[in-house]
Structure 1
């Protein structure tokens, strides 16, 4: 039999293998039953999701109403509705009081719940959405329902009373037991991945455990010890510590020697690791923003992991000869057979390639998470540096141009949106990094690593081999230009270097113009790659503008951050808060004991009012304190000027305004 007849017989066998009758010849007969056996059925816990919300929502509403009746609005606004009950404030964002861990825990519960509900078929309890159109309306209603549902959990802590702590214990225990009970009874769910619901609920359970432990501790402390006076809080407060640190004597500066390699490495690592600093605290908004961004990284990374890895493992385990033959025909899997028929070696190679895809995806996800987390830590360090500079009045060093630190509607809106923006930018940054790094790792694996292992598909190495003269020409031209600039065109003098051999310089510039065009093309490609990677890596950082200084206004994230800093410094300057506390102390006949830190806003109002009659010594002390505060807080000058137009201040009558 001739070789042509043998090839024809092989081709006929291959065609018969791909015929309709033999399409599932390699498929095991019991695979369908195994799939059904491994499928996760719907689980119905003892406490259904709807029943849980039907019980907890009225309880939360009743607790909120009781606390509102007990806490008079008269404590905050004396002239508002004559002390009528009002809605409790969830968090004093502009004050350094309370436990930040509790506030972060409640925000973590809210954010994690919303992340889980985005993919639910029925995002809103009590309403079962059947169509996609009604489901979108349910998601919008859920964005309003869940903040109100978890509102009493944080309002109980702001009351700072044993009744609030008792209600906080009741709510946190009920929420915690309900969530844990549901996950213990139904750890698996058919949504996306059998353990996705359990893994995505871990942050919610941990935050609820923190609240379940914190509220009982505070309740026991309220019974064991008396209420602390404001004087004691003031002595140990953040504002006094800040003033002590600012007014303390500075140690003598060390000799300005050139730092070594080890010290440079340590300073570089410190720029990515936030360490607490004496006399300074990161504002609550920044702590919340970074924490919510970390939770966003966890939720997005978990979703990407459970979406890709289990599916690619199913594909790898279900790889058959038919699929391998298709990959061989497209040239994606190399074969040693002359007629292109797949064998056991080709099947193992195809499974190895799919395993390499899985490794590339996991590697890109780990690198993306680590980079995003490190950028968030670096931004936290930069936040502290920027706030300290603005506290000192160094506005130009932060914004690169003069700015007025005063209130504006845009600054207020940006301050409100800052935490949400940080979480959203972290999610988008992680998604973009995952896509780009996955493509890069796949390209590097299948163009470099796999060809080196197998010795086949050496396309990249063949391209580099064919273009070696081009690359050598570019390298030689760059080296020649640097050598000529170093040894021929610059003459070292006594003071500085001077230009020499100008005629030769002009000749070299003309002759190397074509080569410099090619070098410029490669430099432009490198510039594009570096710019893209830099923007992708720093996308989650709001304190870094991805555009130039002239186009910073078009960067929504950086613009939000700048306005946030203006609002935070103008309203929460530690020196200004300390001065307001001194005003409260001087105005109160019984001292500071009647005032709490939540009433610092009264100090701001007192600063605008004319001073009462007092002795010359007290007036001098008040004027010195006012002058020191206004010099270090230029943002307070507009308020003072507006008052001086028609009121007497510090014992002096201001000139009347012009008609």
Structure 2
């Protein structure tokens, strides 16, 4: 610090932009920034000069390295021979033709009617809620103007329709409908003695199939509102620190709330999955009842921004509604925000309430047309939904059939997608493929996540923005208190904002920018996760374990448990990732805003002054190593991993050993900081583990992701599904031909035909089995009669498909002993990979 005589800091700053003008013992003093010294902070210290020189050298090194790289790539590309491009006449339709065709297919009469009815019902619901909220809003405004406690007394019916805990109106109806579904459901069992055609609870959703994906996704989107309410109550209970019932009881209450949510939406999903007239009638009536009660509950009992008497008492006779009225005004702004927030919610409810009656009408129409159906159509009607879907898999245009066809094509020979979104989206953002569709589970998870992200963002903006002014004042007072106590030791001395260590800017714009940044980052991460799920499934289909660890028999239970946790972990990691990203985004934008408004911040300048020299030295050494490695120590400019100038390399490694010990210490700190930074950025993605490749299975989220990928690969492998669909199609075709042929015979001829057919079928099966074993001799090892002759160790080694490398020698010995039966001459150890390929 240097004294400045005859100057007044409040009138004129003699220190310029390189220093702070402060007072000490009523004398103005210049406190210089960074590496400036002198009376007026107009001279550089030796450290400052050295930092500038090192930064200049680093800049020259970076420019040289990248310039040489560009020149090397240009020369290499110029030396390559030009490839003759052939003009291929493509018969692909234009974007306009695709758009028109897709519009004709999707915009049918029924779809248009459903869309219009959804808009009308949702609009009517918003008008009804406005009529319910308007008296509440007027009452609270009058209380605000009269300085009365801001709360409203809920209606008496609210005690009966509390949907978070127990609903005595819809919960018994839901249980009764579930009981009806259990009685009409017939369990299909392959074991004849295990409760044949007995009753069983219906599945709400088959997550491994593609049955009613859109309807299930809408239902799970409706659940996002309930999930947000539970998350909000958890944070409120954690902040209040008042838990009279105990920790375990509170956890049991949360579990009970989740079960109530499941029972609420179970009848709707099960009704569509059963796809019968009785189930659709029950589901339609229940959806209308639930819709009407939801309107009353969210209009009178459970509003988002208005406080009830019970909430006012539980908050300690305090209400944050006054701050909202101060910020948004006493007009209809808060009411309009509430109605806009409800638009996605009521669109989903309207879709369910409209879709179920249309499904019922379509089912009745099919039942009335049954008399005019052909025998083939009647036979198809007798099939279950799973059987009909299995038959459609072998259609030429199904995604699984397209995947199998693309296995025999090169990447550039695959046909382009015929979806409009595939032509509009650039491939570097997302490549739409017709040979893959996501399962119902992924659509349900993402629909819940999207709506949950919407609710969290809206609530975070509407509730927190009115509180930022008071929080900014308290935060500035806290920072100034610590800064003055550390310097002067007097906590009561007022601090000038111009001399504070960190001047806090206005937090309104900072908070909005932080929320927007968080939403954008999470959206990008979710889209990347969606693309990675498809890529990892393709890798699992072809046996590539470069990203997902190979399946192991010892971890089957872990895979199954992880598959169960996958959906819930996605939502939980998203919530925690949103909180962390928002927190660090607020810190980042606060620093940026402080620099923009105040031009300098002492605390950040102190940190940069200690960090910049180390970072310059580290990057200078890294780029020096890269430059020498490419053009001195490697042959052909780094294109070949072969050492050049070995003697100079050994000398350089010798001296670098001692220097890199210091750099390694700094790099370890950087490694820790980067792991925390990227762990926060990738928190909402389960396909990324911050623990590294060796410890990634200790990460619960990544373990759940691996379990999901392996389970999907086992049950939705396209080649397996095509093979099963082909067999089932041939079986049904033969069955239909046999029924058609028997219908043309008389009773005696039909009996004689059945006896001859039984004998001929037995001979045909044996002949087909013999030909199949001759063409595929390795299958003989897996026949039931041969497997019964083996002991337990040999049987385990032969059937262990996932531990192939560990049991290879024992398996080869078994093959060698059985070689004569299989028809193979020799099975040698050198041909292990060949026989491994033949086996699969």
TM-score, normalised with respect to structure 1: 0.69
Residue 215 of structure 1 deviates from its aligned partner by 0.5
- From 696, 701, 719, the equivalent of 1:552 is 696
- Which residue does the alignment assign to 2:206? 92
- From 567, 573, 576, the equivalent of 1:428 is 576
Query: Structure 2: how far apart are the matches of 1:155 and 1:507?
Result: 74
- Which residue does the alignment assign to 1:42? 152
CA gap of 1:283–1:466, structure 2 versus 1, over 3 A, is: closer
Query: Structure 1: how far apart are the matches of 2:546 and 2:638?
Result: 36
**1:328-407 correspondence runs (5 A):** 356-392=506-542, 394-401=543-550, 403-404=551-552
**1:621-632 correspondence runs (5 A):** none
Query: Structure 1: how far apart are the matches of 2:269 and 2:596?
Result: 53
Quick check: 1:296–1:426 contact (8 Å CA) kept in 2? Answer: no
Quick check: 1:193–1:306 contact (8 Å CA) kept in 2? Answer: no
Query: Structure 1: how far apart are the matches of 2:618 and 2:625?
Result: 11
CA gap of 1:592–1:197, structure 2 versus 1, over 3 A, is: farther
CA gap of 1:159–1:331, structure 2 versus 1, over 3 A, is: same
Quick check: 1:230–1:593 contact (8 Å CA) kept in 2? Answer: no
Query: Structure 2: how far apart are the matches of 1:406 and 1:547?
Result: 21
Query: Structure 1: how far apart are the matches of 2:738 and 2:690?
Result: 49
Q: Secondary structure at the match of 1:93?
A: coil
Question: Is it true that 1:245 corresponds to 2:415 in the alignment?
Answer: no
Output one character per residue of 1:101-137: Cα deviation in whole Å (capped at 9) or x when no partner: 221222333343143135459x9xxxxx994436554
- Which residue does the alignment assign to 1:650? none
- Which residue does the alignment assign to 1:500? 645
- Which residue does the alignment assign to 2:275? 160
CA gap of 1:327–1:434, structure 2 versus 1, over 3 A, is: closer
Question: Is it true that 1:58 corresponds to 2:176 in the alignment?
Answer: no
- Which residue does the alignment assign to 1:439? 587
Residue 163 of structure 1 deviates from its aligned partner by 2.0
CA gap of 1:513–1:65, structure 2 versus 1, over 3 A, is: closer
Query: Structure 2: how far apart are the matches of 1:49 and 1:629?
Result: 70
Residue 214 of structure 1 deviates from its aligned partner by 1.3
- Which residue does the alignment assign to 2:288? 173
Q: Secondary structure at the match of 1:146?
A: helix
Residue 616 of structure 1 deviates from its aligned partner by 6.2
Quick check: 2:161–2:293 contact (8 Å CA) kept in 1? Answer: no
Question: Is it true that 1:308 corresponds to 2:423 in the alignment?
Answer: no
Question: Is it true that 1:220 corresponds to 2:220 in the alignment?
Answer: no
Residue 160 of structure 1 deviates from its aligned partner by 0.6
Output one character per residue of 1:542-579: Cα deviation in whole Å (capped at 9) or x when no partner: 22232222212212111222122222222233333343
Residue 222 of structure 1 deviates from its aligned partner by 1.5
Q: Secondary structure at the match of 2:695?
A: helix
Residue 307 of structure 1 deviates from its aligned partner by 4.8
Query: Structure 1: how far apart are the matches of 2:511 and 2:267?
Result: 41
CA gap of 1:130–1:41, structure 2 versus 1, over 3 A, is: farther
Quick check: 1:96–1:284 contact (8 Å CA) kept in 2? Answer: yes
Quick check: 1:539–1:546 contact (8 Å CA) kept in 2? Answer: no
- Which residue does the alignment assign to 1:29? none
Question: Is it true that 1:294 corresponds to 2:450 in the alignment?
Answer: yes
Residue 406 of structure 1 deviates from its aligned partner by 10
Query: Structure 2: how far apart are the matches of 1:36 and 1:353?
Result: 37
- From 202, 205, 229, the equivalent of 2:346 is 205
Output one character per residue of 1:401-455: Cα deviation in whole Å (capped at 9) or x when no partner: 5x35899333322222211121112122222222222223323433x33331xxx
CA gap of 1:405–1:204, structure 2 versus 1, over 3 A, is: farther
Question: Is it true that 1:576 corresponds to 2:720 in the alignment?
Answer: yes
Quick check: 1:360–1:441 contact (8 Å CA) kept in 2? Answer: yes
Q: How many residues align?
A: 558
Quick check: 1:168–1:215 contact (8 Å CA) kept in 2? Answer: yes
CA gap of 1:625–1:312, structure 2 versus 1, over 3 A, is: farther
Output one character per residue of 1:584-605: Cα deviation in whole Å (capped at 9) or x when no partner: 45556744999xxxxxxxxxxx
Greater alpha carbon shift after TM alignment, 75-84 vs 300-309 = 75-84
Greater alpha carbon shift after TM alignment, 465-474 vs 423-432 = 465-474
Query: Structure 1: how far apart are the matches of 2:267 and 2:776?
Result: 38
CA gap of 1:239–1:413, structure 2 versus 1, over 3 A, is: farther
Residue 502 of structure 1 deviates from its aligned partner by 3.7
Query: Structure 2: how far apart are the matches of 1:197 and 1:86?
Result: 43
Greater alpha carbon shift after TM alignment, 149-158 vs 130-139 = 130-139
Question: Is it true that 1:280 corresponds to 2:440 in the alignment?
Answer: no
- Which residue does the alignment assign to 1:148? 263
Quick check: 2:449–2:571 contact (8 Å CA) kept in 1? Answer: yes
- Which residue does the alignment assign to 2:225? 112
Quick check: 2:189–2:196 contact (8 Å CA) kept in 1? Answer: no
Query: Structure 2: how far apart are the matches of 1:437 and 1:618?
Result: 69
* Aligned CA-pair RMSD: 5.1
Q: Which has the larger radius of gyration?
A: 2
Residue 156 of structure 1 deviates from its aligned partner by 0.9
Quick check: 1:179–1:205 contact (8 Å CA) kept in 2? Answer: no
Residue 582 of structure 1 deviates from its aligned partner by 4.4
Quick check: 2:536–2:548 contact (8 Å CA) kept in 1? Answer: no
Question: Is it true that 1:449 corresponds to 2:596 in the alignment?
Answer: yes
Output one character per residue of 1:500-530: Cα deviation in whole Å (capped at 9) or x when no partner: 3946x66666777776555545544443333
Query: Structure 2: how far apart are the matches of 1:534 and 1:239?
Result: 44
Residue 486 of structure 1 deviates from its aligned partner by 6.4
Quick check: 2:208–2:716 contact (8 Å CA) kept in 1? Answer: yes
CA gap of 1:624–1:483, structure 2 versus 1, over 3 A, is: same
Quick check: 2:174–2:267 contact (8 Å CA) kept in 1? Answer: yes
Query: Structure 2: how far apart are the matches of 1:38 and 1:592?
Result: 83
Quick check: 1:576–1:629 contact (8 Å CA) kept in 2? Answer: no
CA gap of 1:493–1:176, structure 2 versus 1, over 3 A, is: closer
Greater alpha carbon shift after TM alignment, 572-581 vs 149-158 = 572-581
CA gap of 1:372–1:463, structure 2 versus 1, over 3 A, is: closer
Structure 1: where are the runs of 5+ without partners? Answer: 1-10, 12-31, 124-128, 256-265, 333-338, 595-610, 648-654
CA gap of 1:615–1:253, structure 2 versus 1, over 3 A, is: same
Residue 100 of structure 1 deviates from its aligned partner by 0.8
Structure 2: where are the runs of 5+ without partners? Answer: 1-25, 27-141, 237-241, 312-318, 322-333, 371-376, 382-387, 414-422, 485-491, 740-757, 790-820, 822-840
Residue 184 of structure 1 deviates from its aligned partner by 3.7
